[in-house]
Amino acid sequence: MHALSVDLAERSYPVLVGPGARHEVGRFLPPSAKSALIVTQEAIKRAGWVDGLNPGVPSELFLIPDGEDAKTLATVETLTRHFANAGLTRADVVIAVGGGVVTDVAGFAAATFHRGTAYVNVATSLLAQVDAAIGGKTGVNLPEGKNLVGAFWQPNAVLCDTETLATLPPREWACGRGEVAKYAFLGDAPTADQPIEEQVARCVGIKAAVVADDEREGGRRMILNYGHTLAHALEGAALSEHHEWDVRHGEAVAIGLLFAALLARRLGRIDEARVEEHRRVIGSFELPTELPPDADAGELLEFMARDKKAQQDLTFVLDGPNGVEPVRGVAAPDVVATLAAMGARR
């Protein structure tokens, strides 16, 4: 078992990575907790990952819908009303068991219920284990964009049980691999041929260090969004305008990583050899690099302008001579030209 830590002074918490980590949940409840509400999805329950979960206090199970469509304010209202009806107090605890959708929604519900209720993440997908469950970013989507409503609310612990990855379908593996590929440009990242437990632990170590340095994304933490500006635009367009697009988060991140590299080259920040390195890394994780059919550069530009990093400008996280860093004030014509070079309509 790998034991890591997100060091945030009095809000520091452990991250356990390894087979059976979910069974450690009882160790990380707040001493005040007299009851727990476990939030999960039908597919997770059906896979058996809630079976035998023993928080050590009376608990109740609540299911939210499957898929990205569950990441809405309506789901949060339903969930928090269930908290209230179950008699959950600020002294109790929420336990999120699932992938990024579950940890995002349950974490946001915990952050807002009684203005802050403790929660523990039991991450069951690769995406959640290497990224979504760690760092305290919680939230939901709006039709206008991804993760536009949320809160920073750190969990009591994150338990990355690598046993649960055995039941992931191929597309869910791709979701996580897109984030793992991102870490290849941020630090001592794993490679595709390493054991999965080592891959997860290395990614967690990189993210934990960045979050400890910049908890609320005021500066350095923005690098964790490498590849995400276009990725969130693609996901936002798929949610609101192009329901026929079949793009998962990690796949969108992979496309976004190549876009970021091509944009950085256009701006003179990196050379062609560095772009080819991006292609090689993305390819090693068997991820896509092509935009969805009929992608429109102008439409994607509108979604990117709503990105949380933007401050009345176009802001991207780009590679360069000093490594990956936020770059503000990128000109719209350069963005459009880069998208067009990837096959988007102008």
> Out of 249, 265, 278, 309, which one is annotated catalytic?
249
> Out of 182, 221, 242, 248, which one is annotated catalytic?
221
Q: What is the mean pLDDT of residues 162-181?
A: 91
pLDDT band at 297; cut points 50, 70, 90: very high
CA–CA separation, 254 and 345 (whole Å): 20
Produce one character per residue of 187-211: b if its CB has 16 or more CB atoms within 10 Å, e if not: bebbeeeeebbebbbbbbbbbbbbb
> Out of 228, 278, 308, 309, which one is annotated catalytic?
228
The CATH code of the domain at 2-168 is: 3.40.50.1970
pLDDT of 166 above 80: yes
CA–CA separation, 123 and 99 (whole Å): 6
Q: Has 207 been annotated as catalytic?
A: yes
pLDDT of 303 above 70: yes
Contact 141, 71 (CB under 8 A): yes
> Out of 22, 146, 177, 207, which one is annotated catalytic?
207
> Out of 156, 177, 179, 202, which one is annotated catalytic?
179
Q: From the centroid of its chain, how far is CA 293?
A: 25
16 token code pair: 């356990």
Task: Supply the pLDDT for residue 311.
Answer: 66
Task: Supply the pLDDT for residue 156.
Answer: 98
> Out of 85, 115, 244, 322, which one is annotated catalytic?
115
Span(s) in the chain for CATH 1.20.1090.10: 220-341
Task: Supply the pLDDT for residue 243.
Answer: 81
pLDDT tens-digit map of 91-112: 999 999 999 999 999 999 999 9
H-helix or E-strand containing 187?
A: none
In 3D space, the residue among 107, 111, 324 whose CA is nearest the CA of residue 225 turns out to be 324
The beta strands (E) that lie in 132-187 are given as: 137-142, 145-152, 158-161
Angle between helices 249-266 and 228-240 (to 10 degrees): 130
> Out of 146, 225, 242, 248, which one is annotated catalytic?
225
> Out of 22, 146, 177, 232, which one is annotated catalytic?
232
pLDDT band at 310; cut points 50, 70, 90: low
The CATH code of the domain at 220-341 is: 1.20.1090.10
Contact 13, 154 (CB under 8 A): yes
CA–CA separation, 41 and 65 (whole Å): 6
pLDDT tens-digit map of 111-144: 999 999 999 999 999 999 999 999 999 999 998 8
Q: Has 278 been annotated as catalytic?
A: no
| 242-245: long-range contacts, CB 8 A cutoff, minimum separation 24 | 242/292, 242/294, 245/292, 245/293
Span(s) in the chain for CATH 3.40.50.1970: 2-168
Task: Supply the pLDDT for residue 193.
Answer: 86
> Out of 22, 71, 121, 137, which one is annotated catalytic?
137
pLDDT of 330 above 80: yes
Q: Has 277 been annotated as catalytic?
A: no
pLDDT tens-digit map of 245-265: 989 999 999 999 999 999 999
The beta strands (E) that lie in 33-87 are given as: 36-41, 59-64
Task: Supply the pLDDT for residue 137.
Answer: 95
Give, in order, the Cα–Cα distances in Å from 238 to each of 25, 44, 292, 298, 320: 36, 25, 10, 15, 30
Q: Has 68 been annotated as catalytic?
A: no
Task: Supply the pLDDT for residue 309.
Answer: 66
CB atoms within 10 A of CB 131: 28
pLDDT band at 313; cut points 50, 70, 90: confident
pLDDT of 151 above 90: yes
Q: From the centroid of its chain, how far is CA 49?
A: 20
Q: Has 243 been annotated as catalytic?
A: no
DSSP single-letter state for residue 291: P
Q: Has 232 been annotated as catalytic?
A: yes
> Out of 215, 217, 235, 299, which one is annotated catalytic?
217
Task: Supply the pLDDT for residue 240.
Answer: 83
pLDDT of 160 above 80: yes
Task: Supply the pLDDT for residue 239.
Answer: 84
Using a pLDDT cut of 90, give the percent of the chain over it: 83
The pLDDT mean for the chain works out to: 94
pLDDT of 308 above 70: no
